[in-house]
């Protein structure tokens, strides 16, 4: 009898499935757009020309300078306008509330109405976060606002935030359980907690020596040392904020750290790699420190206003208007807990990150020497074992 009933109204059985399928495909595409755009697996990309209009370019473009691993690099264009480089877990979302153009490139701009708008909000034209970091190399902005945070703190937050066991509770990525089944086996084969991750980095301190010949979207845990180090070394895309670390961002800047020059004068044609300059050398950089987020933002505004207007910019206006998501009530399965031994090891592993972090602090036009020293003292309290004299000299 019941069989007959279903036969009479077949849509009853498949209609919910169809709705589910459409919603799933929609969500998947949305997710894909946000995360996988970075790899540029498609041979189609958009370039913003000097007028700021989006221009679609298909495949073979005459203006490309070099093609490497299928990535098309264009000669960076000078643009009149600032950039906000929002590194993950640095307070950048809080700043975004005060910036009219701080939304992903695929959204229309301005993306927000800002009451009591600051000057910096009017001057920043481009926003660089996860889906748009790859665009950094294409433009040279008149200035850069970069949100910073102590590398140890940022890394711990990045791990806790991105961990597949926490992500659903934090409301990120409904598709995560799907992805986990489809693409990887994390967790729990190698490690679940922060402590276990750091343990797997191993004792020999050769953190950059690992063998992980897999695509960043995959998570292969056959050798846990390799997997743990690959995660630290920005090779696991699932851990978005570990993937886009200081080193990765620097490598994506228009002029990056090491310039390889072919020494043509030499008879034996040696290629000399000069660890010449930092890509930030040629750029105007302002930074916010996570611990002084709104005060730094206010001081940058004051700096941009110059002597012309003597009214002091009051950060309390920002403080009153900010909306910060309070997640302190949530009990997350994976916490920031780390033993003293683990902390020391993670600090050593983050030495290259600290080097670039210090470089950025030094380049910041809005920080006085005391501000840099304060930030360094904070980092030193997190990682007392690092050779701070040496790090500060570089």
Ligand X SMILES: *[C@@H]1O[C@H](CO)[C@@H](O)[C@H](O)[C@H]1NC(C)=O
Question: Residues in the site for ligand X, rule: CB under 6 A?
Answer: 47, 49, 63, 73, 115-116, 119, 137, 210-211, 223, 225-226, 251, 256, 258, 260, 266-268, 270, 305, 308-309, 317, 321, 324, 326, 328-329
Nearer to ligand X, 74 or 175 (CB): 74
In angstroms, what is the minimal distance from the CB of 30 to ligand X? Answer: 27
Q: How far is the CB of 224 from ligand X (least distance, A)?
A: 7
Tokens 């004299």 found at = 389
Beta bridge partners, 288, equal 147
Are 114 and 145 spatial neighbours (Cβ–Cβ below 8 Å)? no
**Separation CA 332–CA 339 (nearest Å):** 18
Q: Give least dist CB 373 to ligand X, A.
A: 27
Which of 58, 393 has the CB closer to ligand X?
58
Comparing CB distances to ligand X, the nearer of 202 and 379 is: 202
What is d(CA 259, CA 298) in angstroms, rounded to the nearest whole number?
Answer: 35
Q: Which is nearer to ligand X, 226 or 288 (CB)?
A: 226
Residue 383 CB, nearest approach to ligand X (Å): 24
Give the DSSP per-residue string, 349-390: HTHHHHHHHHHHHHHBTT--HHHHHHHHHHHHHH-TTS-HHH
| DSSP classification of residue 267 | T
Cβ nearer to ligand X, comparing 24 with 309: 309
| Least gap, CB of 41 to ligand X (angstroms) | 18
**Helix 369-382 with 151-162: angle, nearest 10 deg:** 60
In whole angstroms, the minimum distance from the beta carbon of 294 to ligand X comes to 13
**Closest CB to ligand X among 97 and 223?**
223
CA distances from 47 to 41, 63, 66, 73, 226 (A): 16, 11, 16, 11, 37
By C-beta, is 201 or 239 nearer to ligand X? 201
> Which residues have C-beta within 8 Å of that of residue 251, sequence separation ≥ 6?
257
Least distance (Å) between residue 83 CB and ligand X: 15
- Residue 56 CB, nearest approach to ligand X (Å): 10
Q: Which two tokens stand for residue 381?
A: 């309290």
Please classify residue 127 by burial: count the beta carbons closer than 10 Å to its beta carbon, then call 0-12 exposed, 13-18 middle and 19+ buried: buried
Q: Which is nearer to ligand X, 13 or 211 (CB)?
A: 211
**Both structure tokens of 205:** 């301190």
Give the CA count within 13 Å in the CB-facing half-sphere of 114.
21
Q: How far is CA 261 from CA 160, 251, 272, 275, in A?
A: 41, 17, 6, 10
Q: How far is the CB of 273 from ligand X (least distance, A)?
A: 8
User: 53 vs 370, which CB is nearer to ligand X?
Assistant: 53
User: What's the min distance (Å) between Cβ of 181 and ligand X?
Assistant: 25
Distance CA 26, CA 20 (A): 10
Q: What is the DSSP letter of 211?
A: -
Which residue in the shown chain puts its C-beta closest to ligand X? 115
Nearer to ligand X, 166 or 221 (CB): 221
Q: Are 337 and 195 in contact (CB under 8 A)?
A: yes
Candidates 347, 338, 371, 365; CA nearest to 151 is 347
């Amino acid at each position: 009898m019941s069989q007959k009933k279903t036969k009479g109204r077949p849509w009853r059985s498949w209609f919910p499935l169809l709705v589910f399928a459409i919603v799933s495909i929609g969500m998947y595409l949305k997710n894909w757009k946000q995360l996988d755009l970075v790899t540029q697996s498609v041979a189609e990309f958009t370039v913003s020309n000097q007028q700021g209009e989006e221009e679609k370019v298909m495949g073979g473009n005459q203006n490309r300078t070099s093609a490497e691993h299928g990535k098309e690099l264009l000669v960076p264009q000078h643009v009149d306008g600032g950039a906000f480089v929002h590194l993950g877990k640095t307070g950048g979302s809080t700043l975004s509330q005060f910036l009219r153009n701080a939304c992903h490139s695929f959204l229309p701009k301005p993306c927000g109405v800002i009451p009591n708008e600051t000057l910096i909000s009017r001057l920043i034209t481009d926003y660089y976060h996860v889906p748009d970091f790859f665009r950094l190399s294409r433009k040279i902005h008149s200035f850069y606002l970069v949100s910073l945070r102590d590398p140890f703190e940022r890394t711990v937050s990045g791990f806790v935030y991105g961990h597949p066991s926490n992500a659903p509770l934090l409301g990120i990525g409904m598709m995560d359980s799907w992805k986990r089944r489809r693409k990887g086996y994390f967790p729990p084969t190698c490690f679940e907690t922060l402590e276990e991750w750091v343990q797997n980095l191993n004792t020999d301190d050769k953190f950059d020596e690992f063998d992980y010949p897999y695509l960043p979207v995959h998570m292969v845990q056959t050798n846990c040392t390799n997997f743990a180090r690959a995660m630290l070394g920005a090779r696991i895309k699932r851990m978005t904020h570990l993937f886009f670390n200081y080193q990765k961002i620097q490598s994506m800047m228009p002029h990056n750290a090491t310039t390889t020059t072919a020494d043509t004068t030499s008879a034996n044609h040696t290629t000399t790699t000069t660890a010449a300059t930092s890509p930030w050398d040629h750029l105007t950089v302002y930074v916010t420190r996570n611990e002084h987020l709104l005060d730094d933002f206010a001081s940058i505004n004051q700096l941009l206003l110059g002597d012309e207007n003597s009214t002091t910019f009051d950060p309390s206006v920002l403080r009153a208007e900010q909306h910060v998501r309070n997640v302190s009530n949530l009990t997350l399965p994976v916490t920031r807990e780390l033993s003293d031994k683990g902390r020391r090891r993670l600090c050593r592993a983050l030495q290259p990150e600290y080097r670039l972090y210090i470089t950025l602090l030094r380049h910041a036009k809005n920080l006085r020497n005391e501000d840099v020293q304060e930030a360094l003292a904070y980092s030193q309290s997190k990682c007392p074992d690092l050779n701070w004299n040496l790090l500060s000299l570089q």
